[in-house]
Amino acid sequence: MKLSKATKKGSATKPRKAFRAPRSRAGHTGTPRETRDARDVWQLRLYVAGQTPRSLLAFANLKKICEEHLHGRYRIEVVDLLKNPTLARGDQILAVPTLVRKLPPPVKKIIGDFTNTERVLVGLNLVPLAESLR
């Protein structure tokens, strides 16, 4: 519990901070790619129900993938449905864990604990992006 709480809080805030700094920097440097990337704010919302091993695993997997493919350009908001059950209706959450890509549009939804990285990349449309980055 203690661990998960720490992870969650950290995860919910840390990436945001980590992201904000590069964006401002990118704005200053003014390189086209970085400008475009900076505008491409990846807003991800992860729905979980309680701090179960599966939700912890899902968060860890997601973070790893994001770090790898969207380093510094993502923000993960974790919603614990046990604490905010009414939020499940808004995004039509049935399965948990569910990840909703709020930005960039269109809204994408993937479910599971993200152990299948390939599917996560496909589901989030990260594959072409990752390739173009390379």
Partner 1 sequence: MTRPGKPKNAPAARASQASSPVAAPEVLEKVPSGIAGLDTLTNGGLPRGRPTLVCGGPGSGKTLFAVQALVRGALVHGEPGVILAFEDTAEDVAKNFASFGFPIEELIADKKLLVDYVAVERSEIEETGRYDLEGLFVRLESAVRAVGAKRVAIDTLETIFTGFSDEGLLRAEVRRLFRWLKDHGLTTIVTAERGESALTRYGLEEYISDCVILLDQRIADEVATRRLRVVKYRGTSHGTNEYPFLIGEDGISVLPLTALGLAYPVSNERVLTGVKKLDTMLGGSGYYRGSTVLLSGTAGTGKTSVASHFVDASCSRGERVIYVALEEAQSQILRNMRSIGVDLEKWVKQKSLMFHVARPSAAGLEEHLVRIHGLVERHKPAAVVIDPISSFETTGLKLDVRAMSVRLIDYLKGLGITTLLTYLSNPAGTEETQIGISSLIDTWLSVRDLERDGERNRALYVLKSRGMAHSNQVREFVITNRGIDLVDVYIGTEGVLTGSARVARERRDEQDAEDRKRRMHARMQDLAARRQTMQAQIDALKAELAKEERELERVIERDERRETWRAGTRERMRHSRFGNNDSSSKRP
Q: What x/- string results for residues 73 through 102 when contact with partner 1 is judged by CB under 8 A? A: --------xx--xx-xx--xxxxxxx----
SS3 assignment, position 43: strand
What one-letter code names the amino acid at 16?
R
What one-letter code names the amino acid at 99?
L
Strand-pair category, 108-111 with 74-80:
unpaired
Query: Using CB under 8 A, which of 35, 54, 103, 129 touches partner 1?
Result: 54
SS3 assignment, position 29: helix
* Of 23 and 108, CB closest to partner 1: 108
Q: Which residues bind partner 1 (CB under 8 A)?
A: 47, 49-50, 52-54, 58, 61, 81-82, 85-86, 88-89, 92-98, 108-117, 119-120, 122-123
